[in-house]
Structure 1
Amino acid sequence: MNHRQPSDLILDLGGNPLSSMEGESMKNLLDFLGYPQRDETERSLFGKVERIDARILEYLDIDTRSVGGILKPEVSQFKMLSKDHYIDEWGIERKFNGRYWDAVSTPLKGAGLDDLDSYPWPIAFSISEDEIDHIRKEAENLFINTDYIICAEHPVYGVFELGCWLCGFDDFLVKLLIEQDFVRKLFDIILSYQLEVIDRYYSALGNFIHYTSSGDDFGTQENLFMSPDVFREIIKPYYKTRINRTKTYTEAYYLHHSCGSVRDIINDLIEAGVDILNPVQPEARGMEAELIKPLFGDRIVLHGGIGTQEKLFQDPDAIEDYVRSVIEIMNRDGGYILAAAHNLQDDLSPESIVKMFKAARRYGKKNEAFWNQ
């Protein structure tokens, strides 16, 4: 974290909500390792498993553990319509397609400024104190009784993703350009909710965590969803406020997750207070390790870097060479946490997962000859 060569590279699997596994992937890995299945895999409402089986984490020698997650207010539009169909706390209807939860309605599509005044927003103070206290106790136990690196998963969604889900991607991207008064008013409402949740969440957990996270995808495979200027003018100030508020309660490092090609705004994320960038998606344009590490590696910790779209689908024997090549670039002078660039999917072979982490542990040890070759 201090940009010095570590004795051992930090390995993350499930230490934050975007470096986890899909349910079938975890089941397949348990079978591969010869561990009996326990209860039916518990999925979150975004498809990933709620927590990775501890036997997997111990076998792979994973350094991180996570606590918390998106908090659910009791006063909101949330309603389970069936086991595969629900309305979330923001009024967004979602259906499970067999692997992921798809947003199937966008309640503010075509909305105007006045519609924001009458919309039934979730009420932050209705979040259960018992829920927060349970998370605090879990974090405190891990902090006091283990050597794991503890992440408090983000308790709220991001302003941009909520705008896209509420209005629909097409409508909201247009609004970012021609209805900026609407966007700012929407973001003000979301930020007010975020800050109330942050106050309660981090005042309880802040002393028992090493890092925390936020997630909001600003990039596509080829570029940003918006111009860098629009990001700086409209989105960045809200993130800076959110991060500053979080850091009033904790000395934990702040990780931000954004898929895609985000190289053009990494400096802005650093200025907003981001300490760790996830996932450094190598298959996205301009996000290759050999480009990102020299440009930003002395100012921000890089997290991820192991490609999940193509790289892990090589022959398992080639994965060791690939992981070594990433470590050679990313871990030089420290400032790197190794993880997959997103949640491990159901079609990835368990053998490849094991190869990845065993290679990471082997080549992630401090070795002067290795780094000076």
Structure 2
Amino acid sequence: MPDFGNLRRALLREGEPERVPPFELSIDRSIKQQFLGHDVGSVEAEAEFFMQAGYDFVPLTMGIRQTTRGETTGVMGAAPAQTSVLKPAEAQYNPFEEGTTTRMWAEEGEGIIQTQADFDNYDWPDPDDFTYENLDLLGRILPEGARVIINVGAVFTASWMFMGMESFCMAIADGSDLVLRLIERVGELQKRVVANVLQYECVGAICMPDDLGYTTSLIVNPNLLRKHVFPWNKEIGKLVKAKDLPYIYHSDGRVYEVIDDLIECGFDALHPCERASTDIARVKQQYGGKLCLCGNIDLDSTLTLGTPEEVDAEVLERIRTIAPGGGFCCGSSNSVPEYVPFANYMAMIEAVKKYGGYPIDV
């Protein structure tokens, strides 16, 4: 049975929970279909999968990401949807299967907002008009011990997606106020969304997915983040803390330079501690008393190119070295895309069950 209280203890670093919680925010529909044996995509199927796979929560996307990424139902890892911000690109994304699939990508060059007129003319959503019906539904169908983790975030990411990465960076270099107005508009919108979702009793935590880093460095100067992005995270964090809920940050890449800033914003946990860019043992040693660490099972090689036995061994090693004392949730170092062999995904979640009981003795 799900036990969100166990996950909450890990996220808030309240000593050692009963077991290491498994943790994923996005799993490709093909993995979920293989697990359940039937089609997925609905909120009901999302709940069925996450409960049967052993998680204590169901992730649900709300806010501007529903507009920019086409995640209208809130189900992450669902079929891609074209939006005004994202465009389709067909390629063989899964090297283990013949044929091509379609993914949606933001414009690298020029996005849909280049001028103040573009900004003014864009049909900005009203947070009160977002569909909260699926949150209502999850509140009715989830078992008593489960909760919903709301993915909001994207204060930085949605802003550059609207402009296109090149235009966004050039505007920063030119000192354009348009970048700042975009960040402010997105931040205001997301704050109102969080205020709305916090009214639902089934919400157990808020996650802010907002990729800040490449493998070797941050994408932009940290001073821009400190001056214009992180203040919104801090404001949203005050709302979350007023409800006494865990506050989670997701960023790919190397974010050492701003971990102290994230803690100052009120975040309790950092996901996904990407293997290629993050020495999780170093972060645990330096910040273990201040941050729960989530993820870190290698997506570049072990989960994608390794064997189930190698996945099992990596989960064992991570639990042995990082889980003692609590403050660790085990999962992939990003998400579970379609190019993770199903047997490797199963090996990961089974290994977490096998080795994750406290006290850690493996």
TM bucket, shorter chain: 0.7 to 0.9
Is 1:309 the counterpart of 2:308? The answer is no
Which residue of structure 1 aligns with residue 283 of structure 2? 292
Post-superposition Cα deviations, 1:270-298, rounded to whole Å, max 9, x if no partner, equal: 101111111011112xx122222111111
What is the root-mean-square deviation in Å for CA atoms of aligned residues?
A: 3.0
| TM-score (norm: length of structure 2) | 0.80
1:229 alignment partner AA: N
273-282 or 303-312: bigger deviation: 303-312
The whole-number CA distance in structure 1 between the counterparts of 2:292 and 2:232 is: 22
Identity of aligned residues (%): 18
Local SS of the residue matching 1:100:
strand
Which residue of structure 2 aligns with residue 360 of structure 1? 352
| TM-score (norm: length of structure 1) | 0.78
Post-superposition Cα deviations, 1:142-181, rounded to whole Å, max 9, x if no partner, equal: 3xx4223x23322x45221111111111111232343253
The whole-number CA distance in structure 1 between the counterparts of 2:66 and 2:216 is: 39
Is contact 1:255–1:276 with CA below 8 Å preserved after alignment? yes
The whole-number CA distance in structure 1 between the counterparts of 2:179 and 2:49 is: 45
Which residue of structure 2 aligns with residue 46 of structure 1? none
Whose radius of gyration is greater, 1 or 2? 1
Which residue of structure 2 aligns with residue 38 of structure 1? 38
Q: Flag structure 1 segments of 5+ consecutive residues without an equivalent.
A: 14-18, 44-48
Q: Flag structure 2 segments of 5+ consecutive residues without an equivalent.
A: 1-9, 73-78, 91-100
The aligned length equals 330
Deviation for aligned residue 1:134? 4.6
Post-superposition Cα deviations, 1:74-114, rounded to whole Å, max 9, x if no partner, equal: 999x8x9xx97633xxx4243263242223571113x2x45
1:213 alignment partner AA: C
Which residue of structure 2 aligns with residue 12 of structure 1? 23
Is 1:152 the counterpart of 2:149? The answer is yes
The whole-number CA distance in structure 2 between the counterparts of 1:259 and 1:135 is: 27
Which residue of structure 1 aligns with residue 135 of structure 2? 135
The whole-number CA distance in structure 1 between the counterparts of 2:123 and 2:342 is: 44
The whole-number CA distance in structure 1 between the counterparts of 2:313 and 2:136 is: 40
1:54-93 aligned within 5 A: 54=48, 57-58=51-52, 60=53, 62-66=54-58, 68-71=60-63, 86-87=82-83, 91-93=84-86
Is contact 2:150–2:203 with CA below 8 Å preserved after alignment? no
1:1-373 aligned within 5 A: 1=10, 2-13=13-24, 19-27=25-33, 29-30=34-35, 37-39=37-39, 41-42=40-41, 52=46, 54=48, 57-58=51-52, 60=53, 62-66=54-58, 68-71=60-63, 86-87=82-83, 91-95=84-88, 97=90, 98-104=101-107, 106-109=111-114, 111=115, 113=116, 115-127=118-130, 131-139=131-139, 142=142, 145-148=143-146, 150-154=147-151, 156-179=152-175, 181-203=177-199, 205=200, 207-248=201-242, 250-284=243-277, 287-312=278-303, 313-367=305-359, 369-370=361-362
Is contact 2:32–2:49 with CA below 8 Å preserved after alignment? no
